[in-house]
Amino acid sequence: MSDIVLQTVIRFLAPFMQVYGLYLILWGHNSPGGAFAGGAIIAVSFLLGLLIPGPQSRFLAWRQTVQWLAALGGMAFLTLGVAGILQGTAFLTNFLGQGQRLFSAGLIPLLAASMGLLVFAAVFSLVAQLLKEYKNV
Amino acid sequence: MSHLPVLILVVYFAAALLLPLLAKLKKSFPGWGALAVTSLALLLSIASALYVGENGPYSYFPGGHGGPGIEITVDWVTVLMHLTINLVGVLILVYSLGDLKSELHPDSLPAYYSIYLVMLAALNGLVMAGDLFNLYIFIEICTIAACALVAIKPGKLCLEAGLKYMFLSTLGSGMILLGIGLVYMVTGELNMGALSEAIPLAFSSYPWNIYVAMSLFIVGFGIKSALFPLHVWLPDAHASAAAPSSAIHSGLIIKVFIIVVARLIFQIFGANLFAAIPAPEVILLLSTIGIFAGSVLAIAQTDIKRMLAYSTIAQISYIFMGFALAVPSGIMGGLLHIVNHGIMKSMLFLAAGAIIYKTGIRKIDELRGIGFRMPLTMSIFSIGALSMVGIPGFSGFISKYYLAFGALEAGKPIYVAVILASSLLNAIYYLPIVVRAFLGHKEGKFVWDQLPWPMATAMVIMAAFNLLFGILPGSLLRLVELAATALLS
Amino acid sequence: MFDKLLANLHFLAAMLLFIIGFYTMLTDSNLIKKVIGLNIMDTGIFLFFISLGYSGGPAGGEANPLPSALMYGGLAAAVSLTAFGLAMIVRLYKYYGTIDADEIMSKRGEAE
């Protein structure tokens, strides 16, 4: 009986957690937050479902493929940094400038988004791997 | 062209991210991919050395704003350490291509190479960090990667050693962070260039902050680089790890932390402040005890890798002694010993790993006559052993010569006696292995040891560098002299 | 003297947390408690740093964001170390059946 309660609560809670995590990532340069906190919260929203036997356990099988997302996030970060080098100034310069319409801080939200992807993939695959070993023991 | 040091980091991190995924496509890719990336980084560091040779030392500011902030300092110390780290990293990686399949679980090979590349990136970043924020981040990356390199080998000894190393190293990191906090509290700056000007002002109003911060830095970095009473994690970690991991731990990781604390003390706090609290005397005392304790404990060991680990403690104490003497010759001796011991100790650990790979023998008593079954490995081991004792003609002699010269220049001739006595102790535990290996059998025919070619090639190249730096040390001495001047200014 | 203590209460609390975490990491024999001690020690340092950025409330202007940024990186390091330590403890438990460091040392002594 407790399973159905937990499952329903998690099914309600997960979208809110993901939106909050996205908010933390994208506004990390202006208010407390940033890539680590936001990425961890998004990962936890998936991981809560893994702890209960139920339909959310299918995410366990994704723990290897999620590592591709980690590589994508990391490579995006490094590419954005090297783009600053190619432009002639230095690594990680803010070449988009400030005062754009959507991303008013230039490069920083893009860097935060790529780091958020990396942190999400890392936390998710780490805890999912530990859970898999625990369930097999 | 001034972007080269940052490109080294970018290349390492990009490869570390991509290697485990590309390994799923082709099984043998991670080793050769890691080798390609490390060779590329070595070429980049050579190019960076040539660039600094033409244009002189410079500061690089990521973020492109040009003012004080996150800074990357590229001076002669950085160039020297980059060359050492990448060269030794390449050679150990070549060795591991032949050796790791027998030591690790085959599924963890891509992860090993990934962690190895992150480790090299963190070491490269540590020696070029120009502000305390950058420095702390690279210290943490280095700690986690080093701990992973020890614990990745299957078996409970490695796990316990890795866990012990992690706890002690985290204590050190906590102390370093607290020291950074104390310095930031009174100066408001994190950039090393700005700090070197702000600390004398802060010292006049808040002396205790600066004293406590300096002590915390010395103890924190001392835990990570195995200064004498804080060395307790080292024998377990270095003896139980896989051969390439032991080699990179003993050869590179410990030394880089000494370089970092030397840079902090000489460039931020200044040598006068360093001598005000009696830090040089304390470090000299601790390093003398460490030299003798390390050598005496090494004599008592029966396992060959444990003996090499205790020998590392003694050699690290030499380097601390060289830096604590705070005169140009002493610092040159310390830097030379960092480079030479990096090559020597890695060579010795790789040779011990080759013996374990071929015959499975770990106890020194069972090594009688092994020189006839593995002549190449034992000759390389002999070159390393003679170099550690300090026989002229090998590179260990040059660094001990400069250390003794530094002791004389600082006006403390007792340390020359310390160096001579400890060289005798080194001979007591190294030479019996060499003698017993070659002269232990009544009659012997040499059988060529058939090692996989990566292992043999790496060891031979390291021995060649050892002899080169021992017989023709000219260019190395010029580079080290520039680095010592840069460190003291 | 007492008002000076009250004015620096946050530093005092941070140092107290640091010392409690340090002592736990060194002396407690349960491995999980050592990891908890690691976290408490790091929490003490975070409190120390972040309180350096305090500027005196709404009347004092903006707070200094630099210490928070530094601690951000430190937090990622603390989380990674905790995860790593706990993973190693899980594997060690599979080998020995206990997570008490003294019992592990005695079992190692018997085996050798």
Report the phi/psi class of residue C46: left, alpha or beta, with left for phi > 0 and alpha for psi in -120 to 50.
alpha
Neighbours of B257 (CB within 10 A): 26
- In angstroms, the CA B131 to CA C68 distance is 16
Q: pLDDT tens digits, residue range B217-229?
A: 999 999 999 998 9
User: Hey, which residues does B131 pair with through a beta bridge?
Assistant: B191
Please state the pTM of the whole predicted model. Answer: 0.94
pLDDT band of B442, cuts 50, 70, 90:
low
Q: Which range has the worst mean pLDDT, A1-5, B140-144, B419-423?
A: A1-5
DSSP assignment of A2-71 equals HHHHHHHHHHHHHHHHHHHHHHHHHTTTTSS--HHHHHHHHHHHHHHHHTSSSGGGGGGGGTTTHHHHHH
- In angstroms, the CA B116 to CA B17 distance is 12
Alpha-carbon distances, residue C42 vs B142, B199, C73, C76 (angstroms): 18, 26, 12, 11
Residues B244-260 have a mean pLDDT of 94
Helix (H, G, I), strand (E, B) or coil at B392: strand
pLDDT above 70: percentage of residues in chain B: 98
Alpha-carbon distance A1 to nearest alpha carbon in chain C (angstroms): 30
Pick the most confident of A123-137, B112-126, C47-61.
B112-126
For the record, the structure tokens of B8 come out as 């080294």
Q: How many residues does chain C have?
A: 112
pLDDT band of B38, cuts 50, 70, 90:
very high
Which residues, including other chains, have CB under 8 Å from residue B275's CB and lie 6 or more apart? B326
For the record, the structure tokens of B222 come out as 């001392």
Q: Specify the higher pLDDT residue, A106 or B416.
A: B416
- In angstroms, the CA A67 to CA B245 distance is 25
Residues of B with Cβ-Cβ distance to C105 under 8 angstroms = none
pLDDT for the residue numbered B389: 92
- In angstroms, the CA B220 to CA B174 distance is 8
Residues B309-317 have a mean pLDDT of 93
| CB nearest B14 (choices: A75, A90, A94) | A75
Q: Domain coordinates of chain A in residue numbers?
A: 2-136
Q: pLDDT tens digits, residue range A31-52?
A: 777 888 899 999 999 888 887 7
Residues of B with Cβ-Cβ distance to A68 under 8 angstroms = 21
Q: pLDDT tens digits, residue range A59-89?
A: 777 777 888 889 999 999 999 888 888 877 7
Mean model confidence pLDDT for chain B: 90
Q: Which range has the worst mean pLDDT, B129-133, B385-389, C81-85, C105-109?
A: C105-109
CATH classification of the domain holding C28: 1.10.287.3510
Q: Specify the higher pLDDT residue, B180 or C106.
A: B180
Residues B93-106 have a mean pLDDT of 89
pLDDT for the residue numbered B39: 94
| CB nearest A90 (choices: B14, B17, B62) | B62
Contact B140 C70 (CB under 8 A): no
When scoring C50, C64, C72, C75 by the number of chain A Cβ atoms within 10 A, the one with the most, hence best to mutate, is C72
Angle at B466 between CA B124 and CA B101, to 5 degrees: 65
pLDDT band of B287, cuts 50, 70, 90:
very high
| CB nearest A91 (choices: B6, B14, B20) | B6
pLDDT for the residue numbered A101: 66
Backbone angles phi, psi at A99, to 5 degrees: 100, 15
pLDDT for the residue numbered B174: 94
| CB nearest B21 (choices: A67, A89, A91) | A67
Number of domains comprising chain C: 1
| CB nearest C87 (choices: A32, A119, A130) | A130
Contact B177 C45 (CB under 8 A): yes
- In angstroms, the CA A30 to CA C57 distance is 19
Q: Specify the higher pLDDT residue, B394 or C105.
A: B394
Decide if B305 contacts B349 (C-beta within 8 A): yes
Please, what's the largest Cα pairwise distance for chain B? 75
DSSP code, position B70: S
Alpha-carbon distances, residue B33 vs B30, B37, B383 (angstroms): 5, 6, 31
Q: Is the pLDDT of residue B87 over 60?
A: yes
Q: Is the pLDDT of residue B141 over 60?
A: yes
User: Hey, which residues does B303 pair with through a beta bridge?
Assistant: B363
When scoring A115, A127, A130 by the number of chain C Cβ atoms within 10 A, the one with the most, hence best to mutate, is A130
* Domain span holding position C34: 2-111
The reply to whether B184 touches chain C by the CB within 8 Å rule is: yes
Backbone angles phi, psi at A42, to 5 degrees: -65, -40
User: Hey, which residues does B392 pair with through a beta bridge?
Assistant: B394
Q: How many residues does chain A have?
A: 137
Residues of C with Cβ-Cβ distance to A126 under 8 angstroms = 83, 87
- In angstroms, the CA B466 to CA B472 distance is 10
- In angstroms, the CA A106 to CA A88 distance is 17
Q: pLDDT tens digits, residue range B190-240?
A: 888 888 888 888 888 888 888 999 999 999 999 999 998 999 999 999 999
Helix (H, G, I), strand (E, B) or coil at B72: strand
For the record, the structure tokens of C12 come out as 């005092």
Residues of B with Cβ-Cβ distance to C97 under 8 angstroms = none
Contact B144 C104 (CB under 8 A): no
pLDDT for the residue numbered B374: 86
For the record, the structure tokens of B113 come out as 């190479």
Radius of gyration of chain C (CA): 19
Tracing tokens 């319409």 back to the chain, one arrives at A101
- In angstroms, the CA A71 to CA B92 distance is 26
Q: Is the pLDDT of residue B443 over 70?
A: no
Long-range CB contacts for residues B293-297, cutoff 8 Å, separation at least 24: B293/B228, B294/B228, B294/B231, B295/B422, B295/B425, B295/B426, B295/B428, B295/B429, B296/B425
Q: pLDDT tens digits, residue range C7-58?
A: 888 899 999 999 999 999 999 989 999 999 999 999 999 999 988 888 777 7
